[in-house]
Amino acid sequence: MEERHVLVRVAVAADLAAVRLSKRLPLKRLSGRELLVDGYNVLITVESLLGNKPVYRCDDGYLRDTRGIFRKYRSSDLTGEALSRTFDLLVPVRPLRVDVLLDQQISMSGRLAARIERLLEERMLPGTARTARDVDRRLKVGQANVRAVVATSDGHVIDAVSEAVDLPAEIARELNIRVLSI
């Protein structure tokens, strides 16, 4: 199973990888910009980094985990640290707004959204956290409507937006966590 996830998530055709990489913004370019966060995508990857689970630097330059736990996600003892590190990373950058979207279909998403809103408020980061049935579509449409930067490593979302940021990669760099490559 792991090998299949690696192949599907890590290997990207060279021309597509180049296009995706051209959309990637460094963290400092978020200053004064709106940020739409693909909540579970970012959270699961950061938890994987912190839990020493396999995370790969993919052919397109973005970090992706390969555990394939998306629909089966449950908060763990790493969730609090992963969320704190993610939002602490944004404080010095001062984005104009941070909106986190969580997939409604995943159990306890409403509670996680409330927890994220408290963390944003504690850090004086303006924004919201909410659940939706169609997170990917909202990320794509929202980015187009407000010219926001999208935080995700989901290739289909990156393909549809003009700018993306890889928050897990920034955390890995900050913590000097070694990621895998093929």
Q: Which residues of 141-158 are buried (b: 16+ CB within 10 A; e: fewer)?
A: ebbeeeebbbbbbbbebb
Q: Which fold has domain 2-175?
A: Rossmann fold (3.40.50)
Cα 27 from Cα 80, distance rounded (Å) = 22
| pLDDT per position as a tens digit, 3-37 | 766 676 788 899 999 999 999 999 999 999 999 99
More confident residue, 49 or 9: 49
Helix (H, G, I), strand (E, B) or coil at 34: strand
Give the Cα separation of 97 and 30 in Å (integer).
10
* Residue 28 three-state SS: helix
The pLDDT of 30-45, averaged and rounded, is 96
- In sequence order, the 6+-apart residues with CB closer than 8 A to the CB of 96 are 32, 33, 34, 126
Alpha-carbon distance of 131 to 104, in angstroms, equals: 5
What does the mean pLDDT of the chain come to? Answer: 92
Mean pLDDT score, 151-175:
96
Strands 63-65 and 55-57: antiparallel
Whether residue 59 contacts residue 17, with contact meaning beta carbons closer than 8 Å, is answered with: yes
Q: Is the predicted pLDDT of residue 143 greater than 80, yes or no? A: no
| HSE-up of residue 179 (Cα within 13 Å, Cβ side) | 26
Domain ranges of the chain: 2-175
Window from 33-37, 139-143, 152-156 with minimum mean pLDDT: 139-143
Q: Are 109 and 75 spatial neighbours (Cβ–Cβ below 8 Å)? A: no
Check residue 182 and give its pLDDT.
Answer: 77
Q: Quick one: which H or E segment has residue 157?
A: helix 155-160
Token digits of residue 98? 């941070």
DSSP symbol at 162: S
Kindly report the pTM of this predicted structure: 0.94
If residue 130 lies in a helix (H) or strand (E), which one and from where to where? strand 127-132
pLDDT tens for 115-132 read 999 999 999 999 999 999
Residue 114: pLDDT over 60: yes
What confidence tier does 2 reach under pLDDT thresholds 50, 70, 90?
low
